[in-house]
Amino acid sequence: MNSVTMERKSERLRRVRLLALWTFVWTISTALVVFGSEFIWNGTKGLTVFALGINILLGIGMILAHRNFLEILDELERKIQLESMAITLGLTLVIGLAYSMLDVTDVIPWDAEISFLVMFMGICYMLAIFMNTRRYR
């Protein structure tokens, strides 16, 4: 393995770790907004808005880290990611709206929560990556 390849692989690992770190910190800040408001600062609006601002900034950091990660992938890996994101976006739109309509029309007795959509997106994205990786194997 030549030095350029080694450098590329270590840079790739660095970007993966950065993405994982940003995602982790953003997830923690999301939990902090919800649970902090309820259990720590007892619904003080100013603190909730502040925590939300931090959450949004960390979310932007996570998005930039993801873009940074995509840039180091080769063309096939990027194609796999792009196709997986397209499938996830399309399915989330269709299934998300259908789920919301089930709630609006009172077909389901519970509220259509946004958390369902986030979980659905995660599972969808992982499955799409798995299937697309197999397709080009």
Contact indicator for 76, 84 with CB cutoff of 8 Å: no
Q: Which is nearer to another protein, 75 or 106 (CB)?
A: 75
Distance CA 132, CA 117 (A): 22
Residue 22-61 contact track with another protein, rule CB under 8 A, x = bound:
----------------------------------------
Is 71 a binder of another protein (CB under 8 A)?
Answer: no
- Residue of 32, 26, 34 whose CA lies nearest to 59: 26
Residue 73 DSSP code: S
Binding-residue total with another protein (CB under 8 A): 14
- Does 134 help bind another protein (rule: CB under 8 A)? no
Does 8 bind another protein (CB under 8 A)? Our answer is yes
**Does 129 help bind another protein (rule: CB under 8 A)?**
no
- Give the number of C-alpha atoms closer than 13 A to the C-alpha of residue 27, restricted to the C-beta side: 9
- Dihedrals phi, psi of 98, to nearest 5 degrees: -60, -45
Binding positions for another protein, rule: CB under 8 A: 1-2, 4-5, 8, 74-77, 79, 133, 135-137
